[in-house]
């Protein structure tokens, strides 16, 4: 019985408004006064996600899991805001 299938719809958060919230740029180490190209955004995301991946810090998994998730969220929000895409796969 798939009664609940499809009922989980992600709603856009108020914090998805990038213009008013430079925290996402800060998390990715980007300048908030410039719009990054998709290539620059992807490069910075990959650099930070590799550096802060929880597997590279086995002694502090919880801390780095949170950092990794914040970086991932910031990447998706900036990508969606500037490029109107919710592309989940980095290599498309």
19-53: per-residue pLDDT in tens?
A: 567 899 999 999 888 899 999 999 999 999 999 99
The two three-digit tokens of residue 83, written as one number = 């490029």
Q: Higher confidence at residue 60 or residue 5?
A: 60
Q: What is the pTM of this model?
A: 0.72
43: which 2 tokens?
A: 């490069």
pLDDT in tens, 6-19: 444 444 454 456 55
pLDDT in tens, 52-85: 999 999 999 999 999 999 999 999 999 988 888 7
Q: Name the token pair of 76.
A: 């998706």
The neighbour count for residue 12, using CB atoms within 10 Å, is 9
Q: DSSP H helical segments within the chain, as ranges?
A: 23-28, 38-51, 61-83
Of 8, 1, 85, the closest CA to residue 41 belongs to 85
């Amino acid at each position: 019985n798939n009664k609940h299938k499809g009922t989980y719809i992600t709603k856009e958060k108020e914090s998805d408004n990038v213009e008013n919230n430079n925290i996402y740029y800060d998390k990715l180490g980007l300048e908030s006064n410039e719009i990054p190209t998709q290539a620059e955004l992807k490069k910075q995301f990959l650099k930070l996600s590799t550096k802060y991946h929880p597997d590279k810090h086995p002694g502090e998994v919880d801390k780095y899991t949170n950092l990794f998730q914040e970086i991932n969220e910031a990447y998706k929000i900036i990508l969606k805001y500037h490029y109107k895409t919710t592309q989940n796969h980095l290599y498309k």
